[in-house]
Amino acid sequence: MKMSLKKIAKAMLITTFSSAMLMTAAHANNPPPTIKADAPNRYIVKKGDTLWDISGRYLNSPWRWKDIWATNKQIKNPHLIYPNDVLILCVIQGQTLVGVDTGEGCAGIEKQLTGEVSASQVTVTSTANSIPPIPWSAIQHWLDNTLIVDPQDFNTTPYILASKNRNLITSRGDKVYAKGVPLIVGQRYGVYREGEQYVDPKTQEIIGLEVTQVATGMVTSTETNGVTSLQLTDSYGKEVREGDRVFVELDNSIPPVFYPTPASVSRGGMIVRVMDSISSAAKGSVVAVNLGSTHGAKPGDVLTVYQKGPLVRDIKDNDTPVRLPDEPSGTVMVFNTFDDISYAYVLDSELPLNVGDKLLPPPYL
């Protein structure tokens, strides 16, 4: 039986609408996350573990770890996990949960969940020595002294004119001179080296400039001709050069504790740079993405990476090229955000990740 083009279009529209309704219903029903078939009933946390690794032991979708974590009402920060903690898998009131065994097994986990707790009974726990969401060693370089700033603002700041001894290499204790807007005597300032510009792949607009702090200096005097004297108080592995910029030290801190969670950003994004001068990223790499705090990105946000589908020839349509759908190729977690750019750690990758790969919040299921 033949169907007219109008009827076919109507049927396709109904099918698409029905699929959308089913997806909405699935989200609304909040189905439980999928527990791995080989999830351990008991696991002893080791030094070097990360929250993401442990989540991956239990869940096919590690970003949904909070859905199965048994929150202890007696602890102010109940999501912290420490080396030597014993995690146990329990079924409590029909729900599969993971919690820290206090010696009573699953009965103790249930007490923690359901027990009435007054404010005076809540224990404050330290973040020190707790396991991190991702390896700190892999991201430390991008937390210490590296920032992304507005290029226009950067170019209006005072610059290093010369050093007192006219030496090429300067370090802590040396005096340098800056020229530009007068700085405040007695104030600490950072000395920053210009790095790579970030260009949005779609708009080709410059969206940020990476700068590295090479030193800190104290202003000792200012002159009427715009020259400021600074005594270097700290250096960070690099010499101060002529042309480096001077401005108030910027706070590059991230929250002491953050957890992997599905990103809730205002739009999709892209990988705009693979760090450490390598061509493609894999698990353990750091990438820069064109999603920042202005788009709702924050430390802990998990994003799925999609690789552009290949072009194939349609042999039934005169070899017309057809683009296949984008496919997920990895997962990244944001750990440091700026206005329009963030640094993200590659949690896993099925294929090499490249500049231009798309980013979206992870699928719900």
Q: Distance between CA atoms of 109 and 111, rounded to whole angstroms?
A: 5
The CATH number of whichever domain residue 272 belongs to comes to 2.40.10.410
Q: Is residue 35 part of a domain?
A: no
206 and 164 in a common domain = yes
Q: Is residue 32 part of a domain?
A: no
267 and 237 in a common domain = no
Digit-coded pLDDT (tens) for 297-327: 999 999 999 999 889 999 999 999 999 999 9
Of 105, 131, 157, the position where a domain reaches its end is 131
271 and 349 in a common domain = yes
59 and 95 in a common domain = yes
The CATH number of whichever domain residue 204 belongs to comes to 2.40.30
Q: Is residue 122 part of a domain?
A: yes
325 and 239 in a common domain = no
- Whole-number mean pLDDT of the chain? 85
Of 217, 247, 277, the position where a domain reaches its end is 247
Identify the pLDDT of residue 203. 85
Identify the pLDDT of residue 169. 61
Q: Is residue 138 part of a domain?
A: no
pTM of the model: 0.82
Selection from 140-144, 169-173, 184-188 with the highest mean pLDDT: 184-188
Rounded mean pLDDT, 258-267? 93
313 and 231 in a common domain = no
Q: Distance between CA atoms of 34 and 279, rounded to whole angstroms?
A: 34
Identify the pLDDT of residue 125. 58
271 and 223 in a common domain = no
pLDDT reading at 20 higher than 70: no
Instruction: Return the SS3 of 64.
Output: helix
pLDDT reading at 16 higher than 70: no
pLDDT reading at 63 higher than 70: yes
Q: What percent of the chain has pLDDT over 90?
A: 63
Q: Is residue 110 part of a domain?
A: yes
Q: Is residue 5 part of a domain?
A: no
> Which of 135, 133, 240 has the alpha carbon at shortest distance from 177?
240
Q: How confident is the model at residue 23 (pLDDT cuts 50, 70, 90)?
A: very low
234 and 282 in a common domain = no
Q: Is residue 272 part of a domain?
A: yes
282 and 233 in a common domain = no
pLDDT reading at 2 higher than 70: no
240 and 191 in a common domain = yes
Burial class (CB in 10 A: 0-12, 13-18, 19+), 107: exposed
Q: Which of 20-29, 99-108, 328-337 has the lowest mean pLDDT?
A: 20-29
Q: What percent of the chain has pLDDT over 70?
A: 85
Identify the pLDDT of residue 30. 60
User: In total, how many domains does the chain have?
Assistant: 3
Residue 325: DSSP 8-state: P
Of 100, 131, 162, the position where a domain reaches its end is 131
Q: Which of 10-14, 51-55, 182-186 has the lowest mean pLDDT?
A: 10-14
Q: Distance between CA atoms of 8 and 14, rounded to whole angstroms?
A: 10
Range of the domain at 350: 261-360
341 and 270 in a common domain = yes
> Which of 198, 200, 218, 219 has the alpha carbon at shortest distance from 208?
198
Q: Distance between CA atoms of 268 and 210, rounded to whole angstroms?
A: 22
333 and 302 in a common domain = yes
Q: Is residue 22 part of a domain?
A: no
